[in-house]
Amino acid sequence: MTVILDGKALANKMQEDLANEVTEWKNKGYRIPTLVVILIGEDSASKVYVKNKEKSAQKIGFNSIVRRLDITIKEEDLLSIIESYNQDDSVDGILVQLPLPKHIDEEKVLLAIDPRKDVDGFHPLNVGKLFVGDPDMHPCTPYGIITLLKEHNIQLAGKKVVIIGRSNIVGKPLIHMMLNEDATVTIAHSKTKNLKNETLTADVLVAAIGQAEFITSDYVKEGAVVVDVGMNRNSEGKLVGDVDYQDVLPKVSAITPVPGGVGPMTITMLMEQTMNQGRKYCG
């Protein structure tokens, strides 16, 4: 029997728990956690992501501030807006939606966010803390993956984990999170030779490739756990992952669906990290 790693169900449960905690705080007269999301320009995917973050934050009962800025904003003006939120003690989390317009230096922006409020886990200090095995804020997608696997009691210690995709948002941070769980980690990418040779050794295979239904059953070891980070439209316009779900399903011991797997966990970890910040400074 294949276990379906239902991220939507776990995300709903975690968000309900957060909402209950916020209600308790309200009843006690505590300050409520505040999340600021900064959106620059009109990128349609970014607008959808930001809307979803806003909806979740509001459902939980956080103060949700979405700061929409014109695409022509000067870098120095953006940096001073970030600094004003850094200085504001009522703000617990600050997130700048990526990608940024070309005239703005992403590294400068990420460095400008107070690392304690960096609920996305992208500040170089937080990246470094994760690297040395002393994490504080985590990037939300890989954190969601680890949380989902742990919820299902999937052992990682001593297991061979193969990650396909070396992005700063998913693949690279996941290396360190898996290492922190005592897994043996391989990272593959577009220049990897004989990808199948790598994937067929995986006890846990994580696909973050960005190509619809790329991973078919011949890439997967019998009984493996498969985590699908992909979000693509197939030729019929249907939302699919990087894994050919129906083909792989009979061969694996556990798999994340798309939609309803990793996606809902990402937003939930953002909320969890905002709450965690509130746990330190509210009340």
Which CB atom, from 60 or from 113, has the smaller least distance to ligand GUN? 113
Region from 8-16, 69-77, 89-97, 251-259 binding ligand GUN, contact rule CB under 6 A = 89-97
Residue 146: other Cβ atoms inside 10 A: 20
Spatial CA neighbour of 66 closest among 78, 76, 53:
53
Q: Is 92 in the site for ligand GUN (CB under 6 A)?
A: no
Q: Is 97 in the site for ligand GUN (CB under 6 A)?
A: yes
- Identified binder of ligand GUN from the candidate list 4, 32, 98, 125, rule CB under 6 A: 98
- Identified binder of ligand GUN from the candidate list 92, 118, 120, 213, rule CB under 6 A: 120
Q: Which residues are catalytic?
A: 53, 97, 120
Spatial CA neighbour of 174 closest among 142, 132, 208:
142
Spatial CA neighbour of 64 closest among 98, 100, 97, 91:
91
Which CB atom, from 146 or from 252, has the smaller least distance to ligand GUN? 146
Q: Is 273 in the site for ligand GUN (CB under 6 A)?
A: no
Q: In a 3-state reduction of DSSP, which class is residue 45?
A: helix
Q: Which of the residues 157 through 176 are near ligand GUN (CB under 6 A)?
A: 169
- Identified binder of ligand GUN from the candidate list 81, 91, 112, 140, rule CB under 6 A: 140
Residues 6+ apart with CB under 8 A from 183: 156, 157, 158, 159, 160, 161, 204
10 Å CB burial of residue 157 (0-12, 13-18, 19+) is exposed
Q: How far is the CB of 47 from ligand GUN (least distance, A)?
A: 11
Region from 92-100, 142-150, 152-160, 222-230 binding ligand GUN, contact rule CB under 6 A = 92-100
Report the C-alpha gap between 139 and 142 in whole angstroms.
6
Q: Is 69 in the site for ligand GUN (CB under 6 A)?
A: no
The residue assigned the tokens 């040779």 is 197
108 φ, ψ (degrees, to nearest 5): -60, -40
Can you say which residues are annotated as belonging to the binding site for NADP(+)?
165-167
- What does the binding site for ligand GUN look like in residue numbers (CB under 6 A)? 95-98, 120, 140, 169
